[in-house]
Amino acid sequence: MKNLYLLGATGSIGRQTLEIAEAAPERFRILALGADRDVEGMTELIRRHDPRFVAMNDPAAAATIAVRFPDIEVGSGKTGMIRLAALDPEDREGLFVNAVVGVAGLEPTVAALKIGRDVALANKETLVVGGQIVMALAREKHVRILPIDSEHSALWQCLEGENPDSILRLVITASGGAFRDKSRAELEHVGVADALAHPNWKMGKKITIDSATMMNKGFEVIEAMHLFGIPLGKIDTVLHRESYLHALVEFIDGSMIAQISSHDMRLPISYALHHPDRVPNPTERLDLAKIGKFTFAPIDFERYPCLGLAYAAARRGGNAPAALNAANEVAVALFLEGSIPFLMIESIVTAALEQLAFIAQPTLAELLSTDAVVREAVRARYARQLL
């Protein structure tokens, strides 16, 4: 029996994680649940899964949950999320599932790694912002980081049992997002609802916008670099509109091994939770004869400048990816609330990287401080623009 400590429980990945865990009650017990502020969503999950510990990021939400469930221990804010990740440090078999969105996921990951607990990781910012520190800690503590993302799960599956020296390159595919058929000129006038209409995947809002700008693909390149210890120069991207082939590995002998499946996050979640076993799950089976063809095309970096910005930040290293992420997080939030046009996301990120006070070997505290400083600068710049 494996205890699950799940952060981001009320979100898209969190709910699908619970669905996969519920389908195997002989293997998984839901011990702790955490969420940002969705009190009603959490109330429903508590009734269904009966966790021992609950963390709510929002203090008012935590207080409401504590009143509703006096028998459950309730944590609040950042401390609550960190406590969830490292709850019961003697539980060596437990798994921390990190499915929160944003840099808020970084410290809980570090807390779980410090007690030697495996982490199933859907939170991108953990590796984008803190990749170097996080991977060093995972190696030191001999714990595993199991990716919950279709592309990284695909790479993981393709790399199983392979000699790292035989890898020529990793290739991650991109659907192109909601605006793949629009020109740069048309992008000047796109709205929030248009950006949220992803052609293939149903996901949370933040990641759907990141898909439209291709920043999401940039994050995935940075994550793959850390997760698999592959140099940036050996990680490529290719446009694949159908989103069935999630990633491939090309080996030195000319072989390419790819992973193909429907667009359904329950598969990567199931693979991470059950690894090294494969178990049946309810995801759609692909009928290749019916699909007929897969298409591939190069990604135009001028059409998607955020992808180039991500490569540049990763090449620079240090606290540059932290700045990239912070500026993007604020810019996407401003776009989602209708405050800035779509194309301003990329100009905000570009400016943040140009103005960065660079630190080559940042500590965790310095990464978090870079995050805070860049957020503040972006908000201040935006406020000035309003005057």
Smallest gap from residue 203 Cβ to Mg ion (A): 9
Q: Which stretch binds Mg ion (CB under 5 A): 69-77, 149-157, 160-168, 350-358?
A: 149-157
Helix (H) or strand (E) holding 75: strand 73-76
Of residues 240 through 299, those in contact with Mg ion by CB under 5 A are none
* CB closer to Mg ion out of 180 and 316: 180
Smallest gap from residue 314 Cβ to Mg ion (A): 16
Binding status of residue 149 toward Mg ion by CB under 5 A? yes
Smallest gap from residue 150 Cβ to Mg ion (A): 5
Residue 26 and residue 173: Cα distance in Å, rounded?
A: 35
Nearest to 346 by CA among 188, 163, 201: 188
Smallest gap from residue 45 Cβ to Mg ion (A): 24
Which ranges of 50-97 does DSSP label H, i.e. alpha helix? 59-68, 77-85
Binding status of residue 125 toward Mg ion by CB under 5 A? no
Query: What's the chain's length in residues?
Result: 387
Which one-letter DSSP state was computed for residue 171?
E
Q: Which stretch binds Mg ion (CB under 5 A): 64-72, 73-81, 124-132, 147-155?
A: 147-155
* CB closer to Mg ion out of 151 and 242: 151
Which one-letter DSSP state was computed for residue 175?
-
Please give the single-letter amino acid code of residue 360.
Answer: A
Smallest gap from residue 296 Cβ to Mg ion (A): 17
* CB closer to Mg ion out of 74 and 172: 172
For the sheet containing 235-239, what is the strand order?
Answer: 235-239, 167-174, 245-251, 256-260
* CB closer to Mg ion out of 149 and 242: 149
* CB closer to Mg ion out of 325 and 370: 325
* CB closer to Mg ion out of 56 and 239: 239
Cβ neighbours around 159 below 10 Å, total: 19
Residue 111 and residue 115: Cα distance in Å, rounded?
A: 7
Residues that bind Mg ion (CB under 5 A): 149-151
